[in-house]
Amino acid sequence: MATTQAVGALTTLVTGASSGIGEALARCFSREGHVLVLVARSGDKLQALAAALTGEFGVRAVALPADLAQPGAAAVLATRLRRQNLVIDVLVNNAGVLEHGAFVDIDGQRQQQLIDLNVSGLTAMLAEFVPGMVAGGRGRILNVASIAAFQPVPALATYAATKAYVLSLTESLAEELRGSGVTVTALCPGLTATQMLNRAAAGSAKVARLPDFLISAVDDVAAEGYQACMNGEVIRVPGLLNRVATVGGRALPKWLLRRLNGVIGRSSL
């Protein structure tokens, strides 16, 4: 199919677009006619997805491989985009990694990788792209956090802390940028059927035995993320069960929530 680019078509950059929620989000934005910039480390997968999106939806899609955990990666990406005259209207900060297990069993390098991508990489992307959006008076940002952002999660201690950071940063920026034309949304999925969950299940028989009703379909999660982002909502928790869990959790005193999560978290080890 020939590539079409409607006059005034929005350009959306999706990080972590080579699989899972990011790939599904890329499809949602393409379906609505957005030009797509696809970012992750796996260039071959990004190229294949770009060709598939152009074939299916007739939109332009550009693959830009990058390791966002590396310092300076966001700045290099922004320079490459400027050279291609691509201005980002919608930034989807989805790339993330997870480590499940006891804190003492995860070495310092793996703990650091969580922070380098989930915290530093995401913040560097915001620092690179938000100023231009504010100067232009328009923009949409979708940061992918997690329901783990709302409370401490033993057995996912550092991961949950990185997602609490993403949620806090999103809420602060959403208010700071109120009236600027730029909106900031946190998508907070629960368990979702992706490679990330498969990897956690491969490392833990208890995670592998989680009942299906707790696990959301990736396309449903992405559809809610797309909708919340384009509506300019601040927080979206996809799925009724996850919404009940987060609202219920917030109603509990912090000490009780911590103890409950301790029981659940330790039982997953």
CB-neighbour burial class of residue 223 (10 A; exposed 0-12, middle 13-18, buried 19+): middle
Total chain residues near ligand NAP (CB under 6 A) = 29
Least CB distance to ligand NAP at residue 23 (A): 7
- Catalytic, out of 159, 161, 207, 216: 159
Site for ligand NAP in 12-51 (CB under 6 A): 15-22, 40-42
Under 8 Å CB-to-CB from 238, ≥6 apart: which residues?
A: 187, 188, 189, 190, 216, 220, 221, 224, 225
Asked about 226 being catalytic, the answer comes back as no
- The pattern of x and - marking residues 89 through 108 that bind ligand NAP according to CB under 6 A reads -----xxxxx----------
Q: State the residue for tokens 């987060």.
A: 246
Q: Please say which residue, 59 or 92, places its beta carbon nearer to ligand NAP.
A: 92
Least CB distance to ligand NAP at residue 264 (A): 15
Q: Please say which residue, 5 or 198, places its beta carbon nearer to ligand NAP.
A: 198
Instruction: State which of residues 35, 63, 144, 184 lies at the interface with ligand NAP (CB under 6 A).
Output: 144
Residue 192 makes contact with ligand NAP by CB under 6 A: yes
Cα 64 to Cα 26, 209, 247, 259: the distances in Å are 14, 37, 38, 44
Radius of gyration (Cα) for the chain, nearest Å?
Answer: 18
Instruction: State which of residues 44, 67, 175, 176 lies at the interface with ligand NAP (CB under 6 A).
Output: 67
User: Taking a C-beta distance cutoff of 8 angstroms, is the pair 143, 182 a contact?
Assistant: no
Q: Determine the 3-state secondary structure of 34 from DSSP.
A: coil
**What is the rounded CA–CA span in Å between residue 187 and residue 191?**
13
Residue 238 makes contact with ligand NAP by CB under 6 A: no
Residue 146 makes contact with ligand NAP by CB under 6 A: yes
Burial letters 162-188, b for 16+ CB under 10 A, else e: bbbbbbebbeebbeebeebebbbbbbb
DSSP symbol at 19: S
**What is the rounded CA–CA span in Å between residue 12 and residue 73?**
18
Least CB distance to ligand NAP at residue 137 (A): 29
Q: Please say which residue, 217 or 256, places its beta carbon nearer to ligand NAP.
A: 217
Residue 185 makes contact with ligand NAP by CB under 6 A: no
Catalytic residues: 159
Contact footprint for ligand NAP (CB under 6 A): 15-22, 40-42, 67-69, 94-98, 117, 144, 146, 189, 191-192, 194-197
